[in-house]
A and B are shown apart, each in its own frame.
Chain A
Amino acid sequence: MQKLDALFEQLNSVILGNPLATKLALVCLLARGHLLIEDIPGVGKTTLSHALANLLGLPYKRVQFTSDLLPTDIIGMTIFDMESKKFIFKKGPLFTSILLADEINRATPKTQSALLQAMEEQQVSVEGQQISLSTPFFVIATQNPLEQSGTFPLPESQLDRFLMRLSLGYPSAEFEKQLLMGQNTRGKLAPVLSQKDVADLIDKVHNVHVSEAIVDYLQSLVSQTRSCGKFVTGLSPRAGLQWLQACKAMAFVEGRDAVLPDDVKLLADYTAAHRLHCNDGSESSLALTEIIKQTEVI
């Protein structure tokens, strides 16, 4: 727990004034989910993922997605080695623990979907062979919500694979001043956790207790997204599972051994909103909030 506190301290020294975002990012990692950060450039998306990787002592790669990026550019490719006279597989940037997929919506759907299998199954198929990725494998993807020309919006199947979507937002005036006056700490962070520590933490998340009352509450919310008629499709069972997993991670990060309804409520927007599309094109968060408002908690 002390290590976790230290980690937060470090993270919050990099991402100033947004403890919730840093907490959620960590929750996402501990829930073994992938994170989608949707925000304008320059608010610290890269900084956050960079810091997270450094502090956790995990190998970190960054891929800048462009429209001419090919699947082999991230998975890797088989090449003929002149010396050994054999085909060898040259691993791409995917073989890492934390992958920052920057501006993921700039890549073509072909390349985007190359990430699909990797994200869901933690393995990739290369020429019929299954190659496992390192554990943990954590994708932090970023996308710019405003720029629409020349982008390929992520398909629903891909959005469903992200456990969370969050945006960082502008820092407050006070913290922006600090930011402007302070030094750039990027790259100077020493690892707080070892790779083994991370694995242990993920294990401990499993031990967080979920009572039947919590399951009932969450399930009632999920089923209401299907029956309320506001959304094109309701939440999938996978979405429900991931939501619950995130709640457990949240409870753990908060230092509790049981999930509270507060966790479910807090995480609804981050884990469910990006998977839902309103029939009338309005913001799905609002409809989701409406459902939560009408659901009894006790």
Chain B
Amino acid sequence: MIANPIKRVLAKLPPMPTSPPTHEPHRATLLQLATLIFVAVVLHFKIADARIATYALVIFAIKAIIIIRTLAPPPKFIMMILTIASLALVLFIYGGWNGQIAGISFIVLLVALKFLESHALRDYFVVCLLLYFLAASSFLFDSSIASISIIVVYALGITGILFQISNPTPMPFKQTLKSSLGIVAKALPLAVLLFFFFPRISGDFGFLPSQDQRDTEGLSDALVAGEMAAGAFNNELAFRVEFKDGVVPPNSQLYWRAKTMPTERNFVWEVGQPEATNNSELSALNAATSLANGDWFYSVLHENSSDDFLPYLDYVAGVNRGYVLRDYSVTRRRTGTGSFSYKGSSSADQLLVSKISHNTESLLSTESKPTARLQALLSSIRSKSNNDAESINRLYQYFLDRPYKYSLAPPGLDEFTPLDDFIFNTRTGYCEHYASAFTTLARWLGVPARVVVGYQGGTQVNGGQYLEVRYSDAHAWSEVWVNDQWQRVDATAAVRPDRIEFGMDALRELWDLGQFDNGNSSNALANFLNPTGTARLFRDLRDTWKNVGYQWNKWVVNYDIATQRELLETLGFKHKNGILTLVLIMMLGAFAMLLLYFWQLIPKQIKRSKLQAAYLHFVTKFKRHGLEKNISDTPAEFASKASALFPQLEQTITQISNQFQALRYRDTEGREEDNAAKIDAFVRQVKQFKISVK
């Protein structure tokens, strides 16, 4: 009795195909599939080693020839050799199979090999599934809108191929497109819903292959004269910042601190060895930082970076990611993969924690020694100054007065006395020259000083909705310890004030126009800063496109647990357990859908008429005596079975059966009122019917 409803439920499930389709895949379809694989292999050149892609291309070419000339698939031992060769190739090139690139190379080779081996329908299904996987894994390498559009088109293509393959006769292109568009369109709302509302997990996924040391950008840990200048034309995006309530600090305050460099080695400044950690100091500093403090509040969307330091606006007041060090730089504990986001708050003044101490000796030491000319300069400054502050002022004034030039392509310096060469001969440099020179000179003047490296400025997009900071905005400046406080001194600002005032973009524009050192560059500058006509339209369009990219990165690529919480709060899930509530709602929804599905499967109670009920009553009477009616037995068939079993009752059985047949199949039941008397008589007859076994 219990098994029966379950059996019925199962019987009502959608029919499974009794056997998988066995038709031969059509040649035209295979050629289309081959095109898709070709695209995948060619795109692989962009990501991974060319040797892998070339090898995959060779395997692909063999299969293409087989398809075009309808040859037999290659024998097993050749397949074996090719497979072992691919394995060896991956091992040889990547030294293992860890890492995303090795992983994706594996999949590409797998697709090519499986495609070569395929001959039956199900092989090609597997190839298609592998292609889906390949398309999905390319997200790990590029998640821009353009790339995702390509992947969507590609996925549509694979879906179309699946439709084509599973059809014995190839479908016309339009119909295939319609089918695959339809299936993708059906999946899309659910995918979007799940993407935004499925609870995010914080942290990295353990099962993702580890990040490779790809040529990610980052600021160098050493400041070598001329190296940063080489990056002046690097348009690569470093990070984007959105200021809360649109309160953007003035350009002169837009100093993004990434790291400090306290160690000098022959005009090269380096990030220092971590000082013996003074835990109580650090924890006091970190305890004092809070996102509630500060003049400016912002959220940063940082592109993939190999750097351990997070750029925060000077001076950091609060962080939500990373750890504040004593030099006010913020380090992240662990280098992640891909782009990331964080929030910060900053104020113009430093966070002063009394316990912060300095090793003055190390902040004064330099490896290079001043030349005679430099000594003369230093003593002239020193003789005129009464204290550190005055010395620094005079040093700054020195750069201001002398004809120093700012250049995006500074000349090289003397190998042995680079500082002397720069100060007295070339007098032309990029920010790192000025920062290094100023810091070194300050130390020689007896003022504790260090170089700070980070970014300065940024490009406002869409009327200042957010700021784009590029690697070309990288900047170096000096910090001196004066009056028991660190003071920022940017010698570059003395030489080229418009670097700070208008930003690097403007300077580069002038550079490109050949008006960099031109006295009347103001016209070109004005044109750049405030374009008119087509130029303005062009800029606005560019800004809009940039904004789309920013929103995409913010809401899709970097959609994490924090962004999800933000979204939920906007939607009214103010409660702390918003996500938990959401999970609960989703689970309930899913459960309800499941329940509904099975509810529908449960066979509805079939309504029996009085006549049918009476007949079934009659039938049940035989059950005790070992005769059950098969559902497909007609009344006549049942009657003959029953009569054979109970010959003494044959007459009654036949009579009842015939009566039922007459009432059910001859007199229309729709007019049951007319037959009511007859039916009542039949019911009575059935009631009186007894099976007596002798």
Binding site for B on A (CB under 8 A): 209, 211-214, 227-230, 257-262, 265, 279-280, 292-298
Contacts and interface: CB of A to CB of B under 8 A. Distances in A.
B626 interface: no
Nearest to A293: B632
B669 A262 contact: no
Interface string B608-645: 00001001100000000000001111111100000000
Contacts of A261: 634-635, 665
Nearest to B632: A293
A214 B637 CA distance: 16
A258 B632 contact: no
Contacts of B615: 298
Given A261-B635, A294-B631, A227 B665 contact: no
A262 B633 CA distance: 9
A260 B661 contact: yes
Contacts of A295: 631-632
A230 B17 CA distance: 8
A-B complex: 10 closest residue pairs judged by Cβ atoms:
A258-B666, A229-B15, A296-B631, A261-B634, A211-B665, A262-B634, A293-B632, A297-B634, A258-B665, A262-B636
B18 A230 contact: yes
**Interface-centre pick from B19, B616, B637, B666 (highest chain A CB count, 10 A):** B666
B616 A298 contact: yes
B679 to A, nearest CB: 14
Given A209-B666, A212-B668, A228-B15, 17 more contacts: A211-B665, A213-B664, A214-B665, A229-B15, A229-B17, A230-B18, A258-B661, A261-B665, A262-B636, A294-B631, A296-B631, A297-B634, A297-B635, A298-B615, A298-B616, A298-B635, A298-B664
B616 A280 contact: no
Contact of A259 (B635, B665, B669): B665
Contacts of B637: 262
A281 to B, nearest CB: 10
B299 to A, nearest CB: 56
Interface string B652-694: 0000000001101111111000000000000000000000000
B616 to A, nearest CB: 7
Interface of B: 11, 15, 17-19, 612, 615-616, 630-637, 661-662, 664-670
A296 B633 CA distance: 8
15 contacts: A211-B668, A212-B670, A213-B664, A228-B15, A257-B666, A260-B665, A261-B634, A261-B665, A262-B636, A265-B634, A297-B632, A297-B635, A298-B612, A298-B616, A298-B635
A58 to B, nearest CB: 32
A212 B665 CA distance: 8
Given A262-B636, A294-B631, A296-B631, A279 B668 contact: no
Contacts of A209: 665-666, 668
B632 A279 contact: no
A263 to B, nearest CB: 9
Contact of B18 (A213, A262, A279, A296): A279
For B631, B634, B668, which residue has the most chain A Cβ atoms within 10 angstroms? Answer: B634
Contacts of A262: 634, 636-637
A170 to B, nearest CB: 27
Contacts of A293: 630, 632
B632 A294 contact: yes
A105 B668 CA distance: 44
A266 B615 CA distance: 22
A211 B667 CA distance: 7
A265 B637 CA distance: 11
Nearest to A227: B15
Given A211-B666, A212-B668, A213-B665, A260 B17 contact: no
A210 B670 CA distance: 13
Contacts of B616: 298
A228 B12 CA distance: 10
B409 to A, nearest CB: 75
Nearest to B660: A298
Contacts of B668: 209, 211-212
Nearest to B22: A280
A265 B635 CA distance: 12
A70 B661 CA distance: 51
A45 B495 CA distance: 114
A227 B15 CA distance: 8
Nearest to A214: B665
A261 B635 CA distance: 8
B148 to A, nearest CB: 38
A62 B637 CA distance: 40
B661 to A, nearest CB: 6
Contacts of B632: 265, 292-297
Contact of B19 (A258, A280, A294, A297): A280
Given A229-B18, A230-B18, A297 B665 contact: no
Nearest to A217: B634
Nearest to B615: A298
A35 to B, nearest CB: 25
Contacts of B665: 209, 211, 213-214, 258-261
Contacts of A259: 665
A297 to B, nearest CB: 5
Contacts of A227: 15
A298 B633 CA distance: 8
Contacts of B667: 211
Q: Which of A214, A261, A293 has the most CB of B within 10 A?
A: A261
Nearest to B637: A262
Which of B612, B616, B632 has the most chain A CB atoms closer than 10 A to its own CB? B632
Contacts of B661: 258, 260
Nearest to A295: B632
Contacts of B634: 260-262, 265, 297
Contacts of B670: 212
Contacts of B662: 258
A258 B664 CA distance: 10
B669 A260 contact: no
Contacts of A296: 631-632
A297 B18 contact: no
Output the residue of A259, A293, A297 with the most chain B CB within 10 A.
A297
A295 B11 CA distance: 12
Nearest to B638: A297
Contacts of A279: 18-19
B669 A212 contact: yes
B166 to A, nearest CB: 14
Given A260-B634, A260-B636, A292-B632, A213 B17 contact: no
B14 to A, nearest CB: 9
A269 to B, nearest CB: 14
A140 B19 CA distance: 37
A235 to B, nearest CB: 17
Contact of A280 (B15, B18, B630, B635): B18
A265 to B, nearest CB: 6
A261 B666 CA distance: 11
A265 B668 CA distance: 21
A294 B8 CA distance: 11
B611 to A, nearest CB: 10
Contacts of A260: 634-636, 661, 665
A256 B662 CA distance: 10
A296 B666 CA distance: 19
A209 B665 CA distance: 8
Nearest to A264: B634
B357 to A, nearest CB: 82
